[in-house]
Structures are given as structure tokens and as C-alpha cells.
Structure 1
Amino acid sequence: MLALALRSMRKRPGRFAATLLSAFLGAAIIMTFNSMHDTAGQPGVDSVSAESLSTAASVVGGYGTLLVFFAVASTLTVNVRQRSAEIELLRCSGATPAQIKRMVVGESVAVALVGAVLAIGPAMLGGRALLHIFQDSGQVQRSVDYSFGPIALLSGIDITVLAAAGAAFMAVRRATRRRQPRGGARKFFAYAALAVGVAAVCSTFAFSARDAALMAPPVYGAILLSVGFALLSPRLLKGLLDRLPLSGPSGYLAVRNMRRRTDELSGVLMPLILFTCMATATLSMQAVENDAIDASGVPKSIDAKNLETLNLVVVGIIVVFSCIMLINSLYAATTYRGREFGQQRLAGATPGQVLAMVGAEGVILTVTGVFFGTLAGLAGILPFTLVRTDGTWPGQGLGIWLTIVAVAAAVTLGTSLITARRALRTPAVAAVTLAA
């Protein structure tokens, strides 16, 4: 089956482009920040510089691992679902579920390994640029030289390959089941994340306004809440669709199609919820912290500068990575619907109605993802603001939130509509015939 996997990759390389891109970017992020561990471990590095570098590597390395798994999992889930006919044909030809799992996992591991190797060069350049940022802000001495060592290399390759193997195994396991999965494990982890997230957010009130670790509990609590919402996204989307009063041909088709594809669309909602929550919570809390420091009249300490740099870098990574995850998932899901679009046109729908249907789906996805992402973010922002400033609402919160919503809407709607427009260029009869 491994030989079959390699032949499948050679015949259809375009199918694995989204997985390769996710693995490449994920490995680049992990290796870029973990190279700070290698740099901090060099002889002669002072303790302040070593602490700044190690903190950046530890914090962003944890975020990076989570994002890599979600990115690879979402793209592989879409990929495996699109191959349901091929998997069923293999089973009818005599292949066992274990053999199919080995084939798909082998493909994923090979693609992830290639992506991780390709990411080594960009990660070295990114690590040097990151070190210069710390040096320009005064957090690291100018005498510290950059080092890309075994910690960065092994962590990037190992985490990327393990994430790809685990995500592929879970995706193909669901696809090869003859009976409908009950989703008990997913529900357990979702409720566990929500419970721990609520506990972390509530623990914010146990800190004082001057505690250096005040921002940690609400940030991690908000992230865990967003993970819980992301895992429950199929149920949340179904509940919303049952209450939507959309009318007209495009609205009817949008709601009907989304009810049928809620599990597939959860791969789009996951990065959207995570992006909205993490960007809103981190940027808003950092703005509250900056305002509080400015109001006190005390110059920023090295720890405060470290925290601000980390928050800005983390948000930048989240924005780029989440946008790529969204684009990958939406592009793969919309491109695969070429036959569906052709059937709708042959049944009497105009290209404009099909585009309006895709636009309505994009709006529903954006509203759902932004709503639950904002809800998780506010759960962390409000306690932090209350403890840090005795206020109830961050002064710059609305402007930050509107910017994040604009980015989320532009990526979701733009990718969906552009991809659907390209698919509609193919004549309806040809689209149905080619996909059959």
C-alpha cells in the first residue's frame, strides 16, 4: 500500500498541494521559534537574553504546535472526504481498512516530510529576522549570534510528521467506518476544553493588577474556549441553520447544502473561530496593558517589552496561518463542488444564483465563526480589563474587533466566490461529465 500511495502522489500532485503548504508553513513557524532555544543555549549568552529567547520559543512553540495540527487536520479531512469514491473502490477491490489507512497515512507522512525539509531554509532566515527584532527592541544583546541547531530541526520535522500522521489516521478512520461514528471522543474533548477554559478565565480574579502573569489565565482560557467551540462547530452550525429565515432560490440552496455538509464545513469554522478569538483576545488585552502602563507613567520593563513583542508576533502568525488554513479548506471544498454546480445549472439555476448561494454560505460561515470566536475572546478580555484597570470594557476593543472581522470576512467570502466563479467557467454538461 505504501507503493500505491507513492504512485497516487505522482499521478495527482495537485491533490496534496494544500497539505504540503500547511506542513511547510507549520514546520517553518515551529523551527523559526525553536531556533531561539538553540540560540539561547550557546555559551556566553547572558541570562536576560537567554530568558527572552527561551520564553519566545516556549510560548509560540506551543501555539505553533496547536496550529499545525489544526491546519493539517482540516486539509487532510477535506482531502479524504473528496476521495470517498476512490476509498470505496479500493474496498470493493479487496483492500482492508488497515491497508487503506496505511496508504493514506503514508501519503500524508511523505508530504509532511517534504514540507518540513523545504521549510528549513525559510526557517533559518525567519529565525535571524526574529533575533534582530529582539535585539532592536533591547531585549537581547547585540553580541548574541544566531544558531539553528538540533532543537529547531528535530522539533520542526517531528511535530509536523506526527501531526500529519495523526490527522490522516483519524480522517481515514472516519471514512472507512461502515456505521456512522458517534463522535463521543470529540464531544468529550470539547466539553473538557470548555470546562478548563471557564476555570482558567475565572482564575483571573485571583491575581492582582500588578502580577506579571495576569494576562496568562484569561488568554489561555479564551483559547481553550475557542477550541471547545471549534470542536462543537458541526452542532453549533446545525443549530444556527435550523433558525435561519433565508428565502429565495439562493437562500434555500445555501441552507439546504450547508445542512448536508456541516461536518465538512467544520474544517472551515475551526480556523475561523480560533483566528477570531486569539487575535481579538491577544490584541485587546495588549492594548489594555499598554494603556495601563502609559497611565502609570512608569517606563516599560524588559518583561513588558517581551510580552508585547510576543503578543504581536503570535497574532501575526495566527493571522497568516489561519488565513492559509481558511483558504486551503475553502478552495479544496469549493473546487470539489464543480459537479454539484453543474447539476444545479442543468436543473435551471443561473450562474448568478449559484454565486449568490455560495456568497450566502460564506456569510453564514463568517457570522457563525466570528460570533463564537468573539464570545470566547470576550470571556478572557472582560475579566482581564476588570482586574487590570477596574473598567469593564477595553478602550480600543471595538476598532480591533472590526479590523479582525473585516479580515475574516474578506478571506472567507473572497476565497469562496473567486473559486466558485472559476468553477462556473466550465460548461455545466462538461462539469457533470468530468466529475462523474
Structure 2
Amino acid sequence: MVTLALRTLRHRTGGFLATFAATFLGATILMAFASLLDTAAAGVDPATRETLTLMASVAGGWCLVIVAFAVASTLTLAARQRDREMALLRSIGATPAQVGRMIVVEAAVVAFVAAVVAIPAGYGLGRLLFRLLVETEQVAAGVAYRFGVIAVGIGVGVTVVGALLATLVTTRRIARPAAQQLVADEPRRMGWKRVTFGWLLVAAGVNCGLLTVLLFSGAGSDAMQTAGQASIWVSAGLALLSPVLIRGVTAVLAVPLTRFGGASGYLTVANLRRRSQQMAGALMPIILFTGISLGTLVMQSVENRATDDGGTIPASMERNIETLNLVVVGMLALFAAIMLVNTLVAATTYRRREFGQQRLTGATPGQVRRMVGAESAVLAFTGVLFGSLASLATILPFTIARTDRLVPDAPALIWPAIAVVAVVLTMTASIGTARRALRTPATEAVGLTA
């Protein structure tokens, strides 16, 4: 099975691009923040060491959580797309353990190669991050940037271990009977472990919001310690529950979609109901992008207004806090945006056979494109809606604790800007990939040509 895994990687390189991209980006971000620990260990002054360690531990820690979450999601999507392949291996005598070893070897090789290739990118991103800290006078100008064992060790080690742990979840699907794996329909219900873990993350975020109000009212920027985490936890929890969210929104929109969308609307509703698990892989980064970006940017805007109105925080400390928040939201938002495009392209490309079958049964290319557009619109709407709700776990408690008000004093353009970015990325990636997939003749797409 090890030999088969290596041959699969060699002959199906395109099928592993999504996983490679996720692990490459994740390793790049991890190395960039971990390099600050290399720099801090190079005999710098105590103030610089504290700044670098804080940035690496807080920002890098949250990036680690989101990166691991996104990589696991990508690997799960890739495993679902290979159900038929796994079933064929099972049908010719391969045991679940053998197939599982093959997937583990594939994941390990892809993760290791991606992490090694990401070393130059991690060095470059880490240097840019370090330069930002120097230019904002948070790090002394004479300190030299270091990229060493800590950065490479964390980047490669965490990426490979995280990918292997993620495969433990995906390989559980192999235990199903081969005949069941050949069926395209997905299970109607989510696993109880996923539901429980999702709600626990939501509860953790709500708890952070409550602690912000109860413990940090009048404490100034210290309220960010708990408020900043709240939207991240809630966003991650709702992302895990995304199959349920898709089904709920689809149930509400089913009537207008089928009534006004014609054949395309009917296909949209049918696909959203039948493929909610795969659609959830694309919904996750939309929720994370919206929730984390909106929550952090509004929180920082409220803090800036409060400081301008007579805050007592030193200017240097305020600058440190703002830089930390903007770097975190920038890194996570960029990663989530790239993961969104990456996931949608991979998921839509995989549906080339499905599009061919629909065209052979009478659907026109225009109807298929409109179907994909409607699906993307539902995904974008669902992601922005629940991401916005997740951001309230940070916005409302911090506003109350910092200003004794319920409505935040923040620029009104923040939410529309984030929503527009999420919608444009979702629609462009999905429709553009579908348009390319439809260039393949229908008979060729379903494998009917000689």
C-alpha cells in the first residue's frame, strides 16, 4: 500500500493540489510566527524579547488553531471525493487497514513536501512581519532577524503531525462496506462527536464574551484578552456545524429557489440537500473569514475611538495592541480567503462528472452555470450570516466592557466590505471553475467516450 500511495501521488498530482496548497500556506504562516521565537532567543533586550514572544505565542497560537482546522477540513473533503476509489480497492481485496495506511502515507508525503517547500516563503513572510514590528518601534532597530531551528521545526513538525492526525478522522470512512461507499448520497445526520464538539466551541466563545463583561468592565484594553477569543471560538464551532446550517438555510430558501429559479433552482435545492457535507467544506472558510475579520476589526475600531476620547493607555502599548490585532486578522483573513478559493475550486472541479450527467439528462450548460451560481449565493449568504453572528460574541461584550454602550462606535463600511469580499470570492471561484469544467464534452466527462 505504501508503493501504491507513492504511485498515486505521482500519477494523480492534480488531485492533491488542494491539500498541498492548504499545508503549504499553513506551514508558511507557522514558520513566520515561529521565527520570532528564533529572533527572541538571539540575545535581545528584555522589552524586545517580550514583544516577540507575545506576538509569536498569541498570534501564532491562534493561527495554529485555524490552520489545523482548515487542513483537517481539506483532507476530509479530499477523502469524501475518493469514496468510489476506496470502494474499488476494497472490492478487489484491500482491507480497511491497508487502505488507511495508503491514505496516511499520502498525507504524510504531501504535508512533508509542502512544509519543506514552504521554508523560503516562511522566511520571507517572517522577515516582513519582523520589519513591521521594527517600523512601528515595537522592536529595537538594531535587532537582527533570525530564522532557525525553532521556525523550521515547528513549521515542518506541526504541519506533518497535524496532517496525520487529520487523517485519523478521514480514514474512519473506510470502515464502511464497499457497496455503501459506492453510493453518492451522504449520511443524513452529522456524527454526534462533531455536533458535540461544535457546540462546545460555541459555548467556549460565549463564555469568553460573558467573562469580558463580568471581569473586564472598565479595565480598558485588557478586555481584549477574552473578547478577542470569543468570535474565533464561535466561528470555529459554527464551521463544524456547517452541514446543519446549510440544510436549515436551504429549507428556508427552497420555495423561492424552485419557484423563481426554474430547472436551475430545482437542481440547486436538490444538490444542497444531497451534498450538504461537501458544501460544508466550502462554507467553513466563509464563516471563519467573516467572523474573525469582522469581530477583530470592529473591536479594534471601538478601542481606537475609546482611546481617542480620553484613554489612559500609553501610546506605545496601544500601538502594540493594534499591530497585534491587525496582524492576526490579516494573516487569518488571508489564509481563510485563500482556503475558500482553494476549496471551492477543488470541490467544483471534482463535479465535472456530475455536470456531464446533468447535461446528458437534458440540462443545458446555462442551467448548470445558473445552478452553480445559485449554490454559491446560498453558501455566501449562509457564511456571511453566521460569520456575522459569530462576530457578535466579540463585538457586543467588548463594546459593553469598554464603553458601557451596546452599539459599537465603528465605521459602517466594515461589514459591507467584508461581506462583499466573501461573496465575490465565493461566486468567482465557483462559477469560474464550473465554466471551465463545462468546456469538457458531456460524454467525455462521464467517461462514455472510447
TM-score by length of 2: 0.93
Q: Post-superposition shift, 1:394? A: 2.1
Contact 1:281–1:377 (Cα < 8 Å) also in 2:
yes
Partner of 2:20: 20
| Alignment map for 1:26-425 (pairs within 5 Å) | 26-43=26-43, 45-178=44-177, 183-205=191-213, 206-244=215-253, 245=255, 246-247=257-258, 248-296=262-310, 300-425=314-439
- Structure 2 distance, partners of 1:203, 1:297, is 22
Q: What is the SS of the residue equivalent to 2:218?
A: coil
In 1, Cα distance between equivalents of 2:316 and 2:174: 51
CA distance in 1, matches of 2:21, 2:268: 29
- Render the CA deviation track for 1:344-390: whole Å, top value 9, x for unaligned: 12222221111111010001001111111100101220121122122
For residue 184 of structure 2, what is the aligned residue in structure 1?
none
Q: Distance in 2 between matches of 1:52 and 1:68?
A: 23
Q: Would the alpha carbon gap of residues 343 and 150 (structure 1) be closer, same or farther in structure 2, given more than 3 Å must change?
A: same
2:198 & 2:49 partners in 1: Cα distance? 36
**C-alpha displacement at 1:176, in angstroms?**
3.5
User: Alpha-carbon deviations, 1:86-132, whole Å to 9, x = none?
Assistant: 10111111111111111011101101000111111111122222111
What displacement does 1:189 show? 0.8
1:42 shift after superposition: 1.3
Deviation string 1:27-73 (CA, Å, 9 cap, x unpaired) is 11001111101111112x11111111111100121122122212222
User: Which region of structure 1 is more displaced relative to structure 2, 68-77 or 374-383?
Assistant: 68-77
Structure 2, unmatched stretches of 5+, are 181-186
Instruction: State whether residues 339 and 435 of structure 1, in contact with CA within 8 Å, keep that contact through their aligned partners in structure 2.
Output: no
Aligned length: 435
Letter in 1 for 2:408: P
TM (norm. structure 1) is 0.96
Deviates more, 1:64-73 or 1:80-89: 64-73
CA shift in 2, pair 1:128/1:37, >3 Å: same
- Structure 1 segments unaligned to the other structure (5+ residues): none
- Structure 2 CA distance for aligned equivalents of residues 243 and 94 of structure 1: 45
Structure 1 residue 391, shift from structure 2 partner: 2.4
Alpha carbons of structure 1 residues 292 and 211: separation in structure 2 relative to 1, 3 Å:
closer
2-structure distance, mates of 1:175, 1:203: 43
User: d(CA) in 1 for partners of 2:191 and 2:311?
Assistant: 53
1:243 shift after superposition:
2.0
Percentage identity across paired residues of the two chains: 49
Structure-2 separation of matches of 1:30 and 1:182: 31
1:78/1:182 CA distance change after superposition, 3 Å: closer
Q: C-alpha displacement at 1:149, in angstroms?
A: 2.1
Q: Does the 8 Å contact 1:81/1:175 carry over to 2? A: no
8 A contact 1:80–1:175 mirrored in 2: no
SS of match in other structure, 1:433: coil
| Mean CA deviation greater in 119-128 or 359-368 | 119-128
Letter in 1 for 2:191: G
Q: Distance in 2 between matches of 1:380 and 1:298?
A: 22
User: Superposition RMSD on alpha carbons, in Å?
Assistant: 1.7
Counterpart-to-counterpart distance in 2, 1:296 and 1:435: 74
Q: 1:238 to 1:175 in 2, by over 3 A?
A: farther
Contact 2:220 2:402 in 1 (8 A): no
Return the letter of the residue paired with 1:191.
Answer: W
Aligned to 1:214, what secondary structure does the other structure show? helix
The one-letter amino acid of 2:28's match is A
| AA in 2 matched with 1:414 | T
Are the structure 2 counterparts of residues 434 and 288 from structure 1 closer, same or farther at C-alpha, using a change threshold of 3 Å? farther
Cα separation, 1, equivalents of 2:71 and 2:376: 22
SS at 1:398 equivalent: coil
AA partner of residue 219 (structure 2): R
CA distance in 2 between partners of 1:186 and 1:297 (Å): 43
